Structure 1
Amino acid sequence: MKKTYLTALLTSTLLAGPALAQTTLTIESWRNDDLLIWQDTIIPAFNAQHPDINVVFSPSAPAEYNAVLNSKLSAGSAGDLITCRPFDASLELFNQGHLADLTDLAGMANFSDVAKSAWQTDDGSATFCVPMASVIHGFIYNADAFAELGIEVPTTEAEFYAALDKIKADGTYIPMAMGTNDQWEAATMGYNNIGPTYWKGEEGRKALIAGEQKLTDPQWVAPFEQLAKWKDYLGDGFEAQTYPDSQNLFTLGRAAVYPAGSWEISGFNTQADFKMGAFAPPVAAAGDTCYISDHTDIAIGMNAKSPNAEAAKVFLDWVGSPEFATLYANALPGFFSLNSTPVEMQDPLAQEFVSWRGKCEPTIRSTYQILSRGTPNLENETWNASANVIRGSETPADAAKRLQDGLASWYDPQK
């Protein structure tokens, strides 16, 4: 009896060992609509390899995330893993000592300098979040309408405007669905969508930061000159048209082309009952290098005060893996992996967007790194300038001068 009891006790102790050794990691995030994806797909895949590490995805409401996270970090109650917004918000957390330096994490080798740029110090010496996904800009089009009107997918500026002219002349469809009421889309899906073609992506963006180029230089005025031409193709009343109005015009089949961010894919797939395609920003002439805004959007870092740092690093290394990249990108089509290993997308529209990475030079939105830290805020001013140029209330040259004067008023390299 005594022997049996001791054997049972020993067995129960051995069985309890792994349970006692288990570590629980908590993820802070603003993506509360991703909860089921993490619970049903991502965490089970991680646990298949690491059953000793429990992971709890604990999101806050998007609008409240920054305030909630800062409060938790100050109180010492934040989770082990911190989902990172791009650029200044996360850089401030790192500068305050809240995010750990992950520069030497093995998984960081799987990301390009562009992919990491949103979660680095200004000099690039420290990287503090593992990149997860970006959004890509271009144009989504009604493939049924193009087929009906005999329009080929445009690749050059001349082909682009010829297509819009043909759609306008036919009269069945509004050539392009975009309004200027909300302003931000005029800059985001307008200026920063086509702009990299003219300022040559990273070359121009970095030169602007360094003070080697100005917003009044021809390559920075050129996108405004293109936007001024869009006015004739946006349909009646575009000045009062909101972002949801534009989405509805396209998904209801009333417009043929939609200047887009890839985040539209899931919603458009649900709402549109016609075949869709996508094309990259047109180049000036056939054979020119194409550029895309492949904008860094979301990453994940480690709470510098986490008591579970080793387990957190194991998880972060896995987030840097091709396996995670494939899981995440296909669970959320339109949010593309930043991993250097290509991911085959199951959604055909998402695959079209991501295929441009193999043909075009990637960059990020020109206003997001460093240049919008002062007043006037260059990002917000670019919204207004882009909308004004499309409306015709400000010339491309005047808009560019206003932005340059504002930037030079507070940013020393531009003075």
Structure 2
Amino acid sequence: MSDLTKHPFTRSLLALALGAALSGPVLAKDKLAIESWRSDDANIWNDVIIPAFEKSHPDIEVVFTPTPPTDYNSALQARLQAGTAGDLIACRPFDASLELYKSGFLTNLNDLQGMAAFPDVAKTAWQTDDGKDQFCLPMASVIHGFIYNKAIFKELNLSVPKTESEFFSVLDKIKEDGQYTPLVMGTADQWEAATMGFQNIGPNYWKGEEGRKALIDGSAKFTDEPYVKTFDELAKWKPYLRRGFESLKYADAQNLFSLGRGAIYPAGSWDIQTFNTQADFEFGAFMPPVPDGQGTCYISDHTDIGMGINSKSAHPEAAKAFLNWMASEEFATLFANAVPGFFPLSNYQVSIKDPVAQEFVSWRKQCKTTIRNSYQILSRGTPNLENELWNVSAQVINGTLTPEQAGAQLETGLSKWYAPHQK
């Protein structure tokens, strides 16, 4: 019988087999799936963020799998329980994500190297009440302030107000001119009265984090002067709002400002993208005016979204690599410019191309930052503090509740279930 090993074809097969043996098996990429409620950002993740990560991590493939915002919490919970959820979990701030961690669905991130890139206040939204365990990486915040129509300010020879008295002087001049609504906001949906009203101007009165933490430990009450004064200023907005503002919804207010019919819009930085698309005039932003004579300014730089790791992920190391990359200056720069109005929470000084977004984020250098005072711990009971704030803030602006009554209603509601306020 002839020696088959001498046959050219056989020798070729043997060479291929030997080469494969020496080079080892071809390894498949780790594939990560991201769960998120930000379905409007899908193109940004797919076209900008993920390609940048995969360029520096060619051994990891990432897919973005969003769920509509209204369905996210329940759908994510169901997938986590069924073991079918993605590897990376977009985290809402505070209690919703805390419950996922307590239920064992999120990985403890205390030892994640990238966590060192974030200040303590940014971490608060995704850690246990005692601050000992971190379960999501801070990702982005939104900042409160006021957006204004630059053409109207130029036409009426107005300057950007820095103090409370200057703010109301500007509003008076706009009202006196009579062509434009001085302040564009409605109270029909209620939440904007609290979010763009109370939580916007209030930190200057309760001294940001100092006051927020005092509410949690019970050493401050909503009947105290800082909260009554906040409502007192809010009550002064009524004469400058559009006639019929009580029936004006959030989208209606956005449209009125976009059409150039109003001069100043109490805002969250997330409104920047809407006005970039809808408004055909140049607009700017100014920070919440400080009470007269106060030197230090405070802004609400509210933690909005984080990212955690599914504790059942089949690729935990790859998921950690992604989070560590999210803690980098590269990600911060990409995200801030791709989604103007949502600001990275890391310590890097990021240059943002959108001029209004850059104006908002520049206030971090000038003012002390805090987060909305109803979000941590204080909205767990009944009545829910966040929902109560919506209601009383709207009523104060409408003139159906006095500032003193608003503070008393909030304090009474909180004391019904929260022990530190029962002293």
Matching of residue 3 in structure 1 with residue 11 in structure 2: yes
1:32-72 CA-partner distances (Å, limit 9, x unpaired):
12111111111111111110011111111111111111111
Give the aligned partner of residue 326 of structure 1: 333
Residue in structure 1 matching 2:345, options 338, 347, 357: 338
Aligned residues, how many?
414
**Structure 1 residues 212 and 328 mapped into 2: Cα distance closer, same or farther (>3 Å)?**
same
Give the aligned partner of residue 229 of structure 1: 236
Give the aligned partner of residue 320 of structure 2: 313
Residue in structure 2 matching 1:284, options 266, 288, 291: 291
C-alpha contact 1:155 1:286 (8 A) present in aligned 2: no
Per the TM alignment, residue 16 of structure 1 is displaced from its structure 2 partner at its CA by 7.8
TM-score by length of 2: 0.96
1:209-268 CA-partner distances (Å, limit 9, x unpaired):
000100000011111000110001002111111111111111100000000000011110
Give the aligned partner of residue 113 of structure 1: 120
Per the TM alignment, residue 285 of structure 1 is displaced from its structure 2 partner at its CA by 2.7
C-alpha contact 1:135 1:336 (8 A) present in aligned 2: yes
Residue in structure 2 matching 1:47, options 28, 31, 54: 54
Give the aligned partner of residue 145 of structure 1: 152
- Unpaired runs of 5+ in structure 1? none
Residue in structure 1 matching 2:306, options 262, 282, 299: 299
Give the aligned partner of residue 258 of structure 1: 265
Per the TM alignment, residue 10 of structure 1 is displaced from its structure 2 partner at its CA by 4.6
User: Aligned partners of 1:119 and 1:376: how far apart in 2?
Assistant: 23
Matching of residue 376 in structure 1 with residue 408 in structure 2: no
Residue in structure 1 matching 2:415, options 382, 398, 408: 408
**Structure 1 residues 81 and 16 mapped into 2: Cα distance closer, same or farther (>3 Å)?**
farther
**Structure 1 residues 13 and 59 mapped into 2: Cα distance closer, same or farther (>3 Å)?**
farther
Which residue identity is paired with 1:297?
Answer: D
Per the TM alignment, residue 77 of structure 1 is displaced from its structure 2 partner at its CA by 1.2
**Structure 1 residues 100 and 397 mapped into 2: Cα distance closer, same or farther (>3 Å)?**
same
**Structure 1 residues 169 and 123 mapped into 2: Cα distance closer, same or farther (>3 Å)?**
same
Match runs of 1:15-414 below 5 Å: 17-18=25-26, 20-285=27-292, 288-414=295-421
> Which stretches of structure 1, 4 residues or more, deviate above 2 A after TM superposition?
1-18
Per the TM alignment, residue 160 of structure 1 is displaced from its structure 2 partner at its CA by 0.4
**Larger gyration radius, structure 1 or structure 2:** 2
Q: Percent identity?
A: 62
C-alpha contact 1:106 1:317 (8 A) present in aligned 2: yes
User: Aligned partners of 2:22 and 2:201: how far apart in 1?
Assistant: 63
Per the TM alignment, residue 206 of structure 1 is displaced from its structure 2 partner at its CA by 0.2
User: Aligned partners of 2:298 and 2:87: how far apart in 1?
Assistant: 37
Which residue identity is paired with 1:337?
Answer: P
User: Aligned partners of 1:189 and 1:65: how far apart in 2?
Assistant: 24
C-alpha contact 1:139 1:279 (8 A) present in aligned 2: yes
TM-score by length of 1: 0.98
Which residue identity is paired with 2:71?
Answer: E
Say which SS state the counterpart of residue 50 (structure 2) adopts.
Answer: helix
- Supply the RMSD in Å over aligned alpha carbons: 1.3
Which residue identity is paired with 2:65?
Answer: S
Which residue identity is paired with 1:170?
Answer: D
Per the TM alignment, residue 7 of structure 1 is displaced from its structure 2 partner at its CA by 3.0
**Structure 1 residues 350 and 11 mapped into 2: Cα distance closer, same or farther (>3 Å)?**
farther
Per the TM alignment, residue 103 of structure 1 is displaced from its structure 2 partner at its CA by 1.3
**Structure 1 residues 367 and 14 mapped into 2: Cα distance closer, same or farther (>3 Å)?**
farther
**Structure 1 residues 312 and 163 mapped into 2: Cα distance closer, same or farther (>3 Å)?**
same
Say which SS state the counterpart of residue 248 (structure 1) adopts.
Answer: helix
1:295-317 CA-partner distances (Å, limit 9, x unpaired):
00001100111121111111111
